[in-house]
Amino acid sequence: MKALTWHGRRDVRVEEVPDPAIQEPTDAIIRVTSTGLCGSDLHLYEVLGPFLGEGDILGHEPMGIVEEVGSGVTQIAPGDRVVIPFNISCGHCFMCGQGLMTQCETTQNREHGTGASLFGYTKLYGQVPGGQAEFLRVPQAHFGPIKVPEGPPDDRFLYLSDVLPTSWQAVEYANVPPGGTVAVLGLGPIGEMCCRIAQHRGASQVIGLDLVPERLARSLQHGVQTVDISAVDDVAEAVRELTGGRGPDSVIDAVGMEAHGSPGGKMAHTLAGFMPDVVARKVMETGGIDRMAAINSAIEMVRRGGTVSLSGVYGGAASPMNLLQMFDKQLNLRMGQANVKRWMDDLLPLVSGDDDPLGVDGFATHHLPLAEAPAAYEMFQKKDDGAFKVVFRP
């Protein structure tokens, strides 16, 4: 089959690789019909190379048609249309029972002290071949795959793999009070969807912050108050001015370690990319290398007693945070990878009807064949051609 493989910093290639096969009774094989390009994939493209192996297959936002199932899989069958959550979980351990599928005790990566395995996402998370490919082996298929109806185009359901549950959880964790205010840092796919979900769930004021004109315009079109962070001297003060001088009840950081304006963190990221893997891994595991502008802005702008919700990915093990300010402001902080299956009862009805309240049908800006994936990664990283959300059609 053809698959997108990693070969080094900013070097991804579409290559012929062996077809996947059933290895365990709880496996399934799907033929991928659509698969998304995520901002988290850019971390692999740019920063996290020390934790990848040459030839690793990338991608964690797939959906498709079931081709084959193992003997232990009964809830799906060949021919079913399914979406595959980006995290791999068993559904029956203690953590899954708590709704914490990202901490699944069956697929935890104890060697690295990390949570559940993820598709296409480094040795830290199981080094499981990803979904930017023509076919995908799905472990724990007795629980993970989400069966969806025939009829609507893939885009109606594809974002159940990551974008929708990640954004829903970010808003849930933000604990926006009824009729409250929320600011969203970063208006990429996750931040934009957070804005839509916050509006859908009744926030009275949603403020979106970014510096990309197209992204600011997209959010403005559906009633988000936008702040161009490149046009104000004090971002936190600009947000406070929009909230009666107090600050929003909640702030969602949908940026993570890719924040602009952090030259020290940028240098550390760049240097790690040129170190021998064994050295770079140690630096990244023990060093405070994150670019912290986004989280620091969130802490600064949220009102006293408010909540900061992190959905953007951070990777530093010793990144400094202003605990004095956090303690003094009596802040609540929640974070983590999305527990995808936890939110399906909330999300499936929103994408299964005719009204499309979250606007998923027109969410992607680019639909491309898998053969164009290397160019798409570069385009998406540079935000060229208005690239907002890219979907591959293998």
Alpha-carbon distance of 341 to 96, in angstroms, equals: 9
Q: Which amino acid is at 47?
A: V
pLDDT at 333: 97
pLDDT in tens, 151-172: 999 999 999 999 999 999 999 9
pLDDT at 290: 57
Predicted confidence band at 264 (pLDDT cuts at 50, 70, 90)? very low
Please spell the DSSP secondary structure of 108-146, one letter per residue.
Answer: -BTTTTB-S-BBT-TGGGTTB--SSBSEEEETTTTTS-E
* Residue 134 scores a pLDDT above 50: yes
- Token pair listed for 327: 């303690």
The predicted model gives 218-239 an average pLDDT of 97
- Residue pair 375/6 in contact by the 8 Å Cβ criterion: no
pLDDT in tens, 321-375: 889 999 999 999 999 999 999 999 999 999 999 899 999 999 999 999 999 999 9
pLDDT at 275: 46
> β-strands 28-37, 62-69: how paired?
antiparallel
Would you state the CATH architecture of domain 164-335? 3-Layer(aba) Sandwich (3.40)
* Residue 43 scores a pLDDT above 90: no
- pTM to 2 decimals? 0.92
Give start-end residues of each CATH 3.90.180.10 domain in the chain: 2-162+339-393
Q: Which of 211-220, 231-240, 311-320 has the lowest mean pLDDT?
A: 311-320
Give start-end residues of each CATH 3.40.50.720 domain in the chain: 164-335
Given this structure, which CATH class describes domain 2-162+339-393?
A: alpha beta
The predicted model gives 181-197 an average pLDDT of 97
